[in-house]
Amino acid sequence: MHTIPKAKVKEVSHALIQKHGEAHGEMITRGVKQAAALWREEDGTPEAFAAFCEAHYHAGAEARKALFDKLTRNYEHIWGHFNQMMLELNKPLHLDWGPIQPVDVLFGSFAPGAHLAEDLFKNKIAFLTILNFPFFTLEEKHQYGAGWDRQEWAYARMGDVFTSRVPAEVNQHMSRVGTEADNYISEYNIVMSQLVDDDGERIFPEDLRLISHWGLRDELKANYDGSPEGLARQRMIYQVMQRIIDQDIPQKVINQRELNWNPFSNKVYRGGKEVDAPPEPLTRYQHLLNNFHAHKQADQWSPNYPSYKARAFEEGLEMSMDEVEALFKELVSAPVLKDVGALIARCLGRDLEPFDIWYDGFKARSGIPEAELDKITAERYPDAKSVEKDIPNLLTTLGFAPDRAEEIASRVVVEGGRGAGHAWGAQMRSQFSHLRTRIGEKGMNYNGFNVAAHELGHNVEQTISLHDVDHYMLNGVPNTAFTEALAFIFQVRDLKLLGLEQDNPLREHLNTLDILWGTYEIMGVSLVDMAVWRWMYANPEAKAEELKAETIRIAREIWNSYYAPVIGATDSPVLAIYSHMISYPLYLSAYPLGHLIEFQLEQQMRGKNLASEIDRIFTIGNLTPRQWMQEAVGRPLGAGPLLEAAEKAVGVVSKE
């Protein structure tokens, strides 16, 4: 690797300032320095670098704007088509097309754009971009951003395109490792009807197949019906979760329908006779470790964000890990949580147990039998096409005008997903957003619709923030937490979308408590995720066995610090169950941040037309979280608004 000497950088900057004037001094100095930092020996001599800067610096507002427009048009086409290729190659893995073949995994792990950045550096397009649209740090965006107009923000986002120069083979390796981990999780199902208790009895419906962790969690939530059978099912699911975390789950019982398994004794039976069933190897933790090593390889090539932790938080979320961690700890330490826990225990008529972090009784649907909801959704949505056809109706139910609902719906494609469900957005305005959701042979069940409502929120955000922003370079939202916020806003209105919304005078207070309890749960999971990554960076040579032990230790420590005082039980490892830790490295923080954003958006939208506010807010585009929140709701992101409302809510609900 060759770096342009500092003296040459200074010389080139001085020459350009002399030519174009002192008014361009800051941008010239910034652009030349950043381009020089990524220039390698194979790119040319220092003299070639100087000649390149001389030839390609665009001075003057008109020349710079013309260059920006050309770069924007071409990047949209490049990114859009690479995104489309990835979407198509992953369809056999993501859609319910039958058994996955080895060739599907090979193509799914192939990253068509792995060489793109390197190619753009080699032909100097990347250097042209950096020179004319240099990078601003997060601190600088906070310092200057409030005074930037929309064009200046778009220029700053162009400066974020090339902040590192990771070799293609490293990008390809990250893609392969990520796909392998995602495929492992997508195929990690437990056939619940094969589970037996200590009396050898099956307590789950026939052919109930649940993906870990999403399906297990949602089934646990669905069993808050007050019945002894519901509680027995919850305790069994919790036991299954612990076996998965501990990796002593028998390999033979994963995604199979032939053997019976007692998760309490951990014994496996065939035809009533016990059979030998060795535990799953440390596959779960090996995938986590593989992701760590793959992403760590990029550290040396990322001068602005020299660790994956920095890339995930400071670059991806545009919030530091320390800032996010402090925000989460503020909420999970809040005294009001003990009052909420006591209220839940009173409602359940028993002491809380660890799985009650997924208590679902604050939702209005708690009074509607799950079987009735399943019947309604199965009849309404027998297949993916029926979901897609109904999107305009769903959007008008939320307040969108019919023509606007049709416009948004026309840009969304619904497909039957293999996993729990996800949304894949377009990166080019001529393409579509894709909603993937799990639909069984007998149609969509209620849990599936609840997830689909969440994913539809993503699709609406993806569509508005791509098609309706004023600059393509500002498309999207500040980070994934902001798209999660709109997804939560849709998800919490699932009954309204089904035409089943109930008139409950406590609805607003119950919704506040529901958001608080859900945020409390997912913040603990995210704190575990962050702590595990800190530990892996501190112990880069660790093996899977050590990682497993440390992950469980961390999960128990965080549980004992923030959850045992509320729940009562100690030493639970359950915060380590989330599959995101394995296949979506350091993504989990987006969910609790999304809940906090959701709550502040809900407060902003109260008394207003929901659809109009969604259109206004999500055309703000990809600013920093701080600037976006100021423009969207007029106050910064924080735990305070939710905690203040929860204190009031718990007082009102406790009196009922």
**% of the chain at pLDDT higher than 70:** 99
Distance in angstroms (rounded) separating the CA atoms of residues 89 and 295: 22
- Residue-wise pLDDT for 598-656, tens only, equals 999 999 999 999 999 999 999 999 999 999 999 999 999 999 999 999 999 999 998 87
Using CA atoms of 579, 580, 586, 591 in order, give the dihedral in degrees to the nearest 10.
-120
What residues have CB less than 8 Å from 373, skipping those under 6 apart? 365, 445, 446, 498, 500
Q: Are strands 267-270 and 260-262 parallel, antiparallel or unpaired?
A: antiparallel
Q: How would residue 226 be classed by pLDDT, with cut points 50, 70 and 90?
A: confident
Using CA atoms of 459, 464, 467, 473 in order, give the dihedral in degrees to the nearest 10.
-100
CB 69 within 8 Å of CB 32: no
Provide the residue ranges of all domains of the chain, joining segments of one domain with +.
6-162, 189-284, 369-497
- Residue-wise pLDDT for 301-322, tens only, equals 998 899 999 999 999 999 999 9
| Structural Rg of the chain based on CA atoms | 26
Distance in angstroms (rounded) separating the CA atoms of residues 390 and 449: 12
Q: What is the pLDDT of residue 577?
A: 98
Over residues 111-115, mean pLDDT: 86
- Residue-wise pLDDT for 480-521, tens only, equals 899 999 999 999 899 999 998 767 778 889 989 999 999 999
Angle at 202 between CA 351 and CA 225, to 5 degrees: 40
Q: What is the pLDDT of residue 355?
A: 98
- Residue-wise pLDDT for 6-19, tens only, equals 999 999 999 999 99
Nearest Cα neighbor of 117 from 87, 82, 144 is 82
In SS3 terms, 158-180 reads as HCCCCCCCCCHHHHHHHHHHHHH
The identity of residue 120, as a single letter, is L
CB 411 within 8 Å of CB 433: yes
Q: What is the pLDDT of residue 365?
A: 57
- Residue-wise pLDDT for 44-53, tens only, equals 999 999 999 9
**% of the chain at pLDDT higher than 90:** 88
Mean pLDDT, all residues of the chain: 94
CB 462 within 8 Å of CB 480: no
* pLDDT score of 2 more than 80: no
Q: What predicted TM-score, i.e. pTM, was given to this entire model?
A: 0.86
Mind giving me the DSSP string for 495-520? Answer: HHHTT-----TTHHHHHHHHHHHHHH
